[in-house]
A and B are shown apart, each in its own frame.
Chain A
Amino acid sequence: MSTEFRDSERELQRFQFRVGIAGAAVLVAFALLFARLVYLQVIQHDYYHTKAEDNRISIVPIAPNRGQILDRNGVVLARNYSAYTLEIFPRKVGDLERTIDELAKIVDIQPRDRARFRKLMAEVRGADSLPVRTRLSDEEVARFAAHRYRFPGVEIKARLFRQYPYGDLAAHVIGYIGRINEADEDRLEDEGVAANYRGTDFIGKSGVEANYQEELHGTTGFEQVEIDANGRSIRTLSRTAPRAGNNLTLSIDIRLQEIVEKAFADRRGALLAIEPATGAVLAFVSKPGFDPNLFVEGIDPQNWTELNSSPDRPLNNRAISGVYPPGSTFKPFMALAALELGKRTPSYTIQDPGYYMFGGRQFRDSKKGGNGSVDLYKSIVVSSDTYYYQLANDMGIDAIAAFMKQFGFGQRTGIDLQGEALGVLPSPEWKVKRFRRPEQQRWYPGETISIGIGQGYNAYTPVQLAVAVATLANNGAMFRPRLVDHVDNLRSGERKYYEPQLVRRIELGAQHIEFVKRAMAGVNTEGTGARAFQGAQYTSGGKTGTAQVIGMKQGEKYVESRVAERFRDHSLFIAFAPVETPRIALAVLVENAGFGARAAAPIARAVLDYYLLGQKSAEAVPTDAASDPDREGD
C-alpha cells in the first residue's frame, strides 16, 4: 500500500515535472514569437510603415490641358473638347475580339473602329488602355453603364480631345497630334522629359503642334490616391494640379488663309505671305490639305491609305518640302545681281531676236520673234528670256550662285516647322557633290544659260522664294520666317513674343534695289502682271513665272489619266506691296497650271487686296488661258 502510494506519488511528481516542462516550452515559444514581433513592429517598423504606405498610395498623373492655337486675330484653330470614350485595358481582358463583339451589341462599333483599335494595339505597346470607340453619345454611355459588370477591363472615360474647327484649312501649318508611339517615347526619354509625359497620351506629330509641343503640352500634375489591393482608388490624399499648356498665337490670318485656299480651289500648290520687316508669316498654304481631325484618335487604315496613295500627296507640305524651279520669278534677283556686280547698267540695251545662241545651240525666248530692243527695266516687265540668257553667260555660274546664296536660295530658311527641304542652288561644287561619275560632275557653260531664267537645276521651296522676295522688299534685310507670334501663359498671364530674327543684312546699293522694285512695279502696271492687278488701289511689285516640269518626279506613280496634266508647267508669282514701304511679300505656286500670270497672279492679287484693303478680291478667279494676252514673254 505504501509503495503503491509512493509509486503514484512519484508518478505524479514525474507528471507534474513534465507539465512544468510543457509550461516552460510554452513560455520559450511565446518569447520567440514576441521577439519576432518586436523585430517587426519596433526595429523594422519604419521599413514596413513605408511599405504599407507604398502599398496603399499610388501616384496618379494628371495630364495637363493642351494649349490652344489661335490665329493673329485670336480665332481658335485648335482646341480641346471633352468626350466619352470606351476604353479597353488589354492586359485585363482575355479575349479581345470576343469582348469587342460583345461590346458591339451595346454600342455602335464599326469595322473601321475595330481596324483602328488593332492599329493602335500594334503601334502603342505598353499602353494601359486604348479606345475602341470615341465620342460616345449619352445614350451609349448609359447603355454601357447598365452592362458594365459584364466587362471587366472595359471602362468609359471622359477625355479631352483635340479639335481643329477649320478642318483642312491651314492643316499644314497647324499640323495634328497623335498617340505617343515608341519612337516618341524614346525621343522624350532622350530629352529627359519623359516624366512630364506620364499620363499624356498625345503628342504633336506635325505642323506647329509638333514644333511647339513643349509650349503646348504644359506640366503634368499628380494625385496621391489611396488604392486597395485590387488597384481601385478609394480616395484622394493630395493633389498637385497640372499646369495647362500655353496658348500659341500664330501670325497667320485664318481669313486670309481661307481666301487663298478658296482661290486655289482644287488645284495643287503653295503660297507663303510674309511681313518683310519681321519675317512673320501671314499666310501659309499647301494644297491639297487634309483634315487633321482624322488623326486625333488614331487614323483608321482606310483614310490613311487614301491620304498616302493619293497622287496629289495631300500630306506633303509643299510650302516647305516641295522643290520647284522658280522660273521667271528668278529674274528680278538676276537683275539685282547684274547691277550689284556691275555686269549691267539700267540703260544697257540688247536687240532681242527671240533667241540666244550659245555654243551652236539656240536658246529660245518664250515670245516668238523677240521683244525688240530690251533694257533692264523692260527685261523684267516683259520677262525677256534672251536678256537673261546673255546675262547669265556674262556673269558666270559662280557669281550667280554666290549672289543668290545671300538671298537664301538653296538653304533652309529656318521657319518654325519640321521637314524643310534644302532645294538646289546650282553651282559647280553642287554638281560635284550631287553626281558620282566625273563626266556628270563637270559643269558645262551651256548649263549656266538656263539658270538665268530660273530653269535648269534651279530648285527651291516656295518658302525660300517667299523669303527671298521679302528680303528684296526689305532692302536686303532678311528675317527668319516665323509662324508663331507669341505664346500666352494663361496662369501667370505672361506673354512671350518671338522677336523678329534678323538672318543677315545684304549690302545692296540703294539705287539698285530701287530700280528692281520699280521694274517689278512695272510688271503689275504695264507688264505680265498688269491684267491681274488692274484697278488695284495700292502700288505693288510683282513678277510672273512659269516653271517647266521636265519629267516625272521621283517616287511618283505613273497614272495615265493624270500624266498630261502633270506635265504642264507650274504657274508662279511673286509680289510685294505697297512698293514704297512693303508690308507684305509673297510667293505663290500653282502646280501644272500653266503661265504664272494666269493662275498664280490672281491669287496674289486676292492676298494683297485682303491684306492691304481688307476686302476680298473679285478677281481671285483664274482668267481664261486661250485669250490671255499676258502669256507673252512669260
Chain B
Amino acid sequence: MDLSARLHPRRVVESLGGSMDRPLLWVVLMLIAAGLVTLYSASYDSPARMQAQLVNLAVAALGMWIAARIPPQTLMRLAVPAYILGILFLVAVALFGDVANGARRWLHVGVTRIQPSEMMKIAMPMMLAWFFHKYEATLRLRDFALASLLLVVPVLLIARQPDLGTALLVAAAGGWVIFFAGISWKALLGVALAGLASLPPLWGVLHDYQRRRILTLLDPTQDPLGSGYHIIQSTIAVGSGGLAGKGWLNGTQAHLEFIPERHTDFIFAVFAEEFGLLGNMVLFVLYALLIGRGLMITANAPTFFARLLAGAVTMMFFTYAFVNIGMVCGILPVVGVPLPFISYGGTSLATLFVGIGILMSVQRHRKLVQT
C-alpha cells in the first residue's frame, strides 16, 4: 500500500473512525448536541464557557479515540499499575492535596494538578475486572471478599476528602464488576443487609453538610434559603417546565439565576425547564440507547475481563444519569455528580469519553482476541 493510497480521504476517515462503534458514536453525538444547546442557554451570562466546553470536548474526544485503539489485553496489563498509582495518588492527596471548597481533592503534579479520584472511576473497574479475570476458574466467596476490600479502600479515601459523589460513582463501578462477576445472590443479600446495618455508624462519620443534605432531601422547606435552596429551586424549575417546557432560552428559573450550579450538576433543571417532559423523554431514550448499546457490547465481549469492564463502564453511565437526575428532581440527596455528556466540566467529560472509548475498543476487538 503506497502512501497516496493511504492518505486517500476515505481511507483516512476509515482508519481514524474505524475503531469507532457507529451506534455508540451517534448516541453520544446527540447527547453532546443536547448538552451544548442546554449549556448555551445556561451560560447566557458567560459565553466563554461554551468555547471552553468545546475545547473540553475536543480533548475528551481525543481521549476516546486513543482508548478505542487500545486493545483490552493492553488495558488488562495496565489495570494493576493504574490501580496502585491511583491509591498512591489518593494517599498523597490525603497528605498534601490542595483544598478547594473545603475539600481536599487536587494534587499538584509538576505544572498541572490532577484529581486522582476521577481516574479511579476507570481504574477501579479495570482492577477488579483484572482480578476476577485472573481467578475466573476458581472464584469463591473469599475472592469476592478480597475484591470488596480492593473496592472499599479507595472509596473510603475518596469519601474522606470529602467527595461523596465520586466515592459513590467509584463504589458503583466496582460494585457492578462484582455483580457481573457472578457474586451469589445470597452474598449480595448479605452485603445489602450489612450495608443497611452500617448506615447508623456511617451517619456518625458524615460531615455536617453531608448530613444536612440528606435531611434536606426529606424536607427541603426546613431550610429554604440554606441547604434546601438548591432542591427547592431546581424542583420549581423542573415542575414549571411542564409538558412542553418554556422553550429554549426562555427558562426564567435558569436565566434569572434561581438555579444554582446551573452549568454543572444542576444543568438538568435548565434542560427540564426549557424542554419539558417531552424533552426529558428524548433524553431518557438517548440514555437508554447508550446503555442498551453498552450492554450489548458487554454481552458480546470476548473475554471475562472485557465483559466485566464493559459492563461496569456501561453501568457507570447509568449511575451518573440516575443519581444526577434523581438529585435534581428531589428524590436523591445532593451529591456532586454531573449529568453525563451534558454538564459542563473537562474532567468528568474526559472520564466519560474514555469510558466510551473502552466500550468501542471492546466492541472492535471482540473477534480478534477470541482464544
Contact = CB atoms under 8 A, between A and B. Distances in A.
Given A22-B179, A22-B315, A48-B235, A42 B277 contact: yes
B198 to A, nearest CB: 22
B256 A26 contact: no
A220 to B, nearest CB: 26
Interface stretch (A32-40, A109-117, A193-201, A247-255): A32-40
Interface string A1-45: 000000000010011101100110011011011101110111011
Interface stretch (B72-80, B101-109, B237-245, B356-364): B237-245
A60 interface: no
B257 A30 contact: no
A228 interface: yes
B23 interface: no
B326 A33 contact: yes
B102 to A, nearest CB: 22
Interface size class of A (residues with CB under 8 A): 35 or more
B292 interface: yes
A613 interface: no
Contacts of B263: none
Contact of B253 (A15, A32, A33, A55): A55
B331 interface: yes
B56 interface: no
A19 B240 contact: no
B238 A15 contact: no
Nearest to A40: B239
B58 interface: no
A339 to B, nearest CB: 81
B226 interface: no
Interface string B234-275: 011111111100000000110011100000000000001000
Contacts of A36: 326, 329-331
B242 A45 contact: yes
A56 interface: yes
A41 B277 contact: yes
Contact of B243 (A34, A41, A230): A41
A228 B257 CA distance: 6
B239 A44 contact: yes
A19 B298 contact: yes
A348 interface: no
Interface in B110-149: none
Given A15-B182, A37-B280, A229-B256, A27 B288 contact: yes
B240 A23 contact: no
A547 to B, nearest CB: 67
B243 A37 contact: no
Contacts of A22: 176, 179-180, 295, 311, 314-315
Contacts of A41: 238-239, 241-243, 272, 276-277, 280
Interface string A42-58: 10110111011101100
B203 interface: no
Contacts, number: 119
Nearest to B308: A15
A536 interface: no
Most central of B239, B258, B331 by chain A CB within 10 Å: B239
B329 A40 contact: yes
A214 B242 CA distance: 46
Contact of B329 (A14, A26, A33): A33
Interface string A561-590: 000000000000000000000000000000
B280 A49 contact: no
Contacts of B292: 23
B322 to A, nearest CB: 5
B253 A37 contact: no
B291 to A, nearest CB: 5
A227 B256 contact: yes
A15 B180 contact: yes
Interface of A is mostly: helix
A209 interface: no
B96 interface: no
B258 A37 contact: no
A49 B318 contact: no
Contacts of B315: 22, 26
A37 B180 CA distance: 30
Most central of A16, A27, A229, A230 by chain B CB within 10 Å: A229
A415 B107 CA distance: 84
Contacts of A47: 239
A303 B271 CA distance: 62
B299 interface: yes
A226 interface: yes
A234 interface: yes
Contacts of B151: none
Interface string B336-362: 000000000000000000000000000
Most central of A16, A30, A44 by chain B CB within 10 Å: A30
B284 interface: yes
Contacts of A48: 235-236, 238-240
Contact of A37 (B256, B272, B307): B272
B291 A26 contact: yes
A26 B252 contact: no
B280 A34 contact: yes
B257 A229 contact: yes
A24 B122 CA distance: 24
A540 B107 CA distance: 104
B83 interface: no
B321 to A, nearest CB: 8
A19 B253 CA distance: 40
Contacts of A234: 256
Contacts of B65: none
Nearest to B318: A26
Given A34-B284, A37-B329, A18 B182 contact: yes
Nearest to B276: A41
Contacts of A230: 257
11 contacts: A16-B299, A19-B298, A30-B288, A30-B322, A37-B329, A41-B242, A48-B235, A49-B240, A55-B256, A226-B252, A229-B258
List the 5 closest A-B pairs by CB distance, nearest first: A48-B239, A52-B240, A228-B256, A40-B239, A229-B257
Interface of B: 176, 179-180, 182, 233, 235-243, 252-253, 256-258, 272, 276-277, 280-281, 284, 287-288, 291-292, 295, 298-299, 307, 311, 314-315, 318, 322, 325-326, 329-331
Interface of A: 11, 14-16, 18-19, 22-23, 26-27, 29-30, 32-34, 36-38, 40-42, 44-45, 47-49, 51-53, 55-56, 226-230, 234
